[in-house]
C-alpha cells in the first residue's frame, strides 16, 4: 500500500511554526513534543539506514520512525508487537466488547486552554474513567445475582469522535465469564449475554460522580477559563446535579466469533490515533478535508467528508495528546499485570475441565509457540530479504545561539 497523498506531518511542517507562535502559552509540552516528533518522523532528521536486497541488489533508504504514540505512521509495528503478545493470552471462550462513555459536560472539564494545568486535568479525569470502569465491571460481575465471578479485561482509551471532537470513552474487551470466588471453577456468562447494561450504566454514573466530587474537594480537580466559577464547591455540586439525572452511555456488543476475531478487532482499536493519514481527502488553501462517520445517520449516509480550517484541524488533533506517562491501554482484574500469567494458567486448566475440550487447548498452545521470526526488511521488487549496509546519522537540531 503506497504513501497517502497527504499526511498529518505535511500539515504540521507547513503550518506548525505559525500555529505554535499564535498559540504560545496555550500549548502543553506534550503537544509540542508530539508536533515535533510527527514533523521529523521518517525523515533525514531522525537518521536511518541504507538497505540492499540479498537477491536483486536493489538499494533503498529507510528513515527512522519517531515512535510517538500519537503519530499516524508509527502505530502499525507497535500494534503487531502488542497483538503478538496478547495472542498467547486469549482464552477459548466468547469475548465481549463493552464501551463506557463520559457525558460531554465532563469532557469539557477535562479540556482546558491553560498549558500549566492541561496535563493534570486530563490525567485526573482519564484516571477516574479507568478506575470507575474497572470498579463497575468487577463489582457487578462479582454480584451473585449477576455472574458471581471475578473478571479480567483489557481497557483501551479513546478520546476522540470521528470528527476529531473531544469524546472520551473506554473500549473494554472482556472474556465471557470469570473465576469463581473460591477460585476452583470457571463461571461462564449466559450464552449471548454478558451483564445488564442498565445496571452497569447506573453504577458507573454514581461512582464516577462521587469520585469526581471527591477529587474536586481534595483540590486535584481545579477549574479555569469558562469553568472558573466551578471552583466553588456549591457551584460544582449544582453542575453535577443534572448529570445524575441523565442516562450515561454504556453498551455491550454481541460476542466475537472466536479468538481470531478478537485479535482482528483489537488490531483496529488498540493503537489507533485520532485520525489516520488515509482519512485525509484534501489539503489546500481552503483547509483540511477528511472522511468521518456520522453515527446519528443511517447506513451509507453515515460516511461524509468535513473541511476544517488548517488551524482548527491542528487544534483538534492536539487535544487528543495524552499526558506524559499515561498509558492508553490498561489491564484489570485477573488480567492485571502482576497476576496475569498465573491467573491465565489457572483459567486454562479450569476451562479444560469445564469444557472437556483438551484438543482445542493443545491446538491453541501449539500455535502460540510457533513464533517463527520474520525478516524486518523485505525487498519491494522481488520480495527477498534486505540487509542494512550503511547507517545514516541523525541531523542535529538547529538551536538558537545563547542570549
Q: Can you tell me the distance from the alpha carbon of 120 to that of 124, in angstroms, rounded to the nearest whole number?
A: 6
Looking only at the bridges linking them, the beta strands covering 186-188 and 250-253 are: unpaired
- How many Cβ atoms from other residues are within 10 Å of residue 295's Cβ? 9
Please name the residues in contact with 175: beta carbons below 8 A apart, sequence gap of 6 or more: 91, 93, 94, 95, 96, 151, 152, 153
pLDDT score for 123? 72
Cell of 330: 490498561
pLDDT score for 243? 92
pLDDT score for 280? 95
Tell me the backbone φ, ψ of residue 373, rounded to 5 degrees.
-65, 145
Sheet with 386-392, side-by-side order of all strands:
59-63, 48-53, 386-392
pLDDT score for 229? 84
HSE toward the beta carbon, residue 187, CA cutoff 13 A: 20
Residues forming a β-bridge with 153: 332
Q: What is the pTM of this model?
A: 0.81
| CB distance 148 to 245 below 8 Å | no
pLDDT score for 283? 95
Q: Can you tell me the distance from the alpha carbon of 205 to that of 140, in angstroms, rounded to the nearest whole number?
A: 13
- How many Cβ atoms from other residues are within 10 Å of residue 205's Cβ? 21
Q: Can you tell me the distance from the alpha carbon of 200 to that of 250, in angstroms, rounded to the nearest whole number?
A: 7
Three-state SS for 235?
Answer: helix
Q: Can you tell me the distance from the alpha carbon of 155 to that of 172, in angstroms, rounded to the nearest whole number?
A: 4
Report angle CA 267, 99, 130 to the nearest 5 degrees. Answer: 90
pLDDT score for 367? 45
Q: Can you tell me the distance from the alpha carbon of 152 to that of 343, in angstroms, rounded to the nearest whole number?
A: 9
Instruction: Encode the chain (403 residues) as per-residue pLDDT tens digits.
Output: 567 889 999 999 999 999 999 998 888 888 999 999 999 999 889 999 999 999 999 999 989 999 898 999 988 777 877 887 788 888 888 889 899 998 888 877 666 433 334 455 567 778 888 999 999 999 999 999 999 999 999 998 898 989 999 888 899 989 999 999 999 999 999 888 889 999 999 999 999 999 888 888 888 777 766 777 888 889 888 989 999 999 999 988 877 777 677 777 777 777 889 999 999 999 999 999 999 998 888 877 889 999 999 999 999 999 899 888 888 889 999 999 999 999 999 999 898 876 654 344 444 444 444 444 455 788 888 888 999 999 988 877 665 555 5
Q: Over the range 57-90, which residues count as b (16 or more CB within 10 Å of their CB) and which as e?
A: eeeeeeebbbebbbbbbbbeeebeebbeebbebb
What is the tens place of the pLDDT at every residue in 226-260?
Answer: 777 888 889 888 989 999 999 999 988 877 777 67
pLDDT score for 117? 41
In the chain the first and final C-alpha atoms are separated, in Å, by: 48
Q: Can you tell me the distance from the alpha carbon of 50 to that of 32, in angstroms, rounded to the nearest whole number?
A: 30
Give the start-to-end residue ranges of the domains of the chain. 77-274+320-356
Cell of 87: 495472542
Q: Which residue has the cell 536483486?
A: 56
Alpha-carbon distances of 326 from 30, 127, 223, 329, rounded to whole Å: 11, 9, 21, 9
Q: Which residue has the cell 504540521?
A: 12
What is the tens place of the pLDDT at every residue in 65-108?
Answer: 998 989 999 887 778 778 877 888 888 888 898 999 988 888 77
Q: Which residue has the cell 468521518?
A: 292
Amino acid at each position: 500500500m503506497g504513501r497517502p497523498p497527504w499526511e498529518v506531518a505535511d500539515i504540521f511542517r507547513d503550518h506548525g511554526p505559525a500555529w505554535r507562535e499564535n498559540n504560545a502559552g496555550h500549548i502543553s509540552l506534550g503537544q509540542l513534543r508530539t508536533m515535533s516528533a510527527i514533523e521529523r518522523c521518517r525523515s533525514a532528521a531522525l537518521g536511518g539506514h541504507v538497505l540492499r536486497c540479498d537477491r536483486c541488489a536493489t538499494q533503498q533508504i529507510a528513515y527512522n520512525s519517531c515512535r510517538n504514540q500519537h503519530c499516524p505512521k508509527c502505530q502499525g509495528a507497535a500494534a503487531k508487537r502488542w497483538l503478538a503478545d496478547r495472542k498467547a493470552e486469549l482464552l477459548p471462550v466468547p469475548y465481549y466488547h463493552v464501551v463506557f462513555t463520559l457525558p460531554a459536560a465532563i469532557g469539557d472539564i477535562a479540556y482546558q486552554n491553560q498549558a500549566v494545568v492541561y496535563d493534570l486535568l486530563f490525567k485526573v479525569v482519564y484516571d477516574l474513567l479507568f478506575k470507575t470502569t474497572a470498579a463497575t465491571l468487577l463489582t457487578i460481575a462479582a454480584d451473585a445475582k449477576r455472574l458471581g465471578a471475578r473478571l479480567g479485561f483489557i481497557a483501551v482509551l479513546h478520546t476522540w469522535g470521528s470528527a476529531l471532537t473531544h469524546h472520551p470513552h473506554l473500549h473494554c474487551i472482556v472474556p465471557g465469564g470469570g473465576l469463581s470466588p473460591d477460585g476452583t471453577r470457571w463461571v461462564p456468562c449466559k450464552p449471548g449475554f454478558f451483564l445488564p447494561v442498565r445496571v452497569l450504566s447506573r453504577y458507573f454514573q454514581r461512582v464516577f460522580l462521587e469520585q469526581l466530587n471527591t477529587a474536586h474537594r481534595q483540590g486535584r480537580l481545579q477549574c479555569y477559563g469558562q469553568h472558573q466559577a466551578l471552583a466553588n464547591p456549591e457551584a460544582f455540586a449544582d453542575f453535577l446535579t443534572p448529570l445524575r439525572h441523565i442516562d450515561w452511555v454504556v453498551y455491550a456488543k454481541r460476542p466475537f466469533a472466536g479468538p481470531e476475531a478478537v485479535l482482528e478487532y483489537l488490531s483496529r482499536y488498540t493503537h489507533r490515533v485520532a485520525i489516520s493519514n488515509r482519512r485525509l481527502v484534501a489539503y489546500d488553501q481552503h483547509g483540511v478535508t477528511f472522511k468521518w462517520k456520522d453515527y446519528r445517520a443511517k447506513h451509507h449516509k453515515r460516511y461524509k467528508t468535513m473541511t476544517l480550517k488548517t488551524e482548527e484541524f491542528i487544534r483538534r488533533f492536539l487535544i487528543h495528546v495524552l499526558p506524559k506517562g499515561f498509558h492508553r491501554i490498561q489491564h484489570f482484574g485477573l488480567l492485571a499485570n502482576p497476576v496475569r500469567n498465573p491467573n491465565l494458567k489457572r483459567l486454562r486448566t479450569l476451562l479444560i475441565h469445564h469444557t472437556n475440550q483438551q484438543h482445542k487447548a493443545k491446538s491453541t498452545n501449539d500455535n502460540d509457540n510457533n513464533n517463527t521470526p520474520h525478516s524486518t526488511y523485505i525487498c519491494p521488487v522481488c520480495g527477498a530479504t534486505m540487509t542494512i549496509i550503511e547507517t545514516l546519522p541523525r541531523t542535529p537540531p538547529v538551536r538558537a545561539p545563547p542570549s
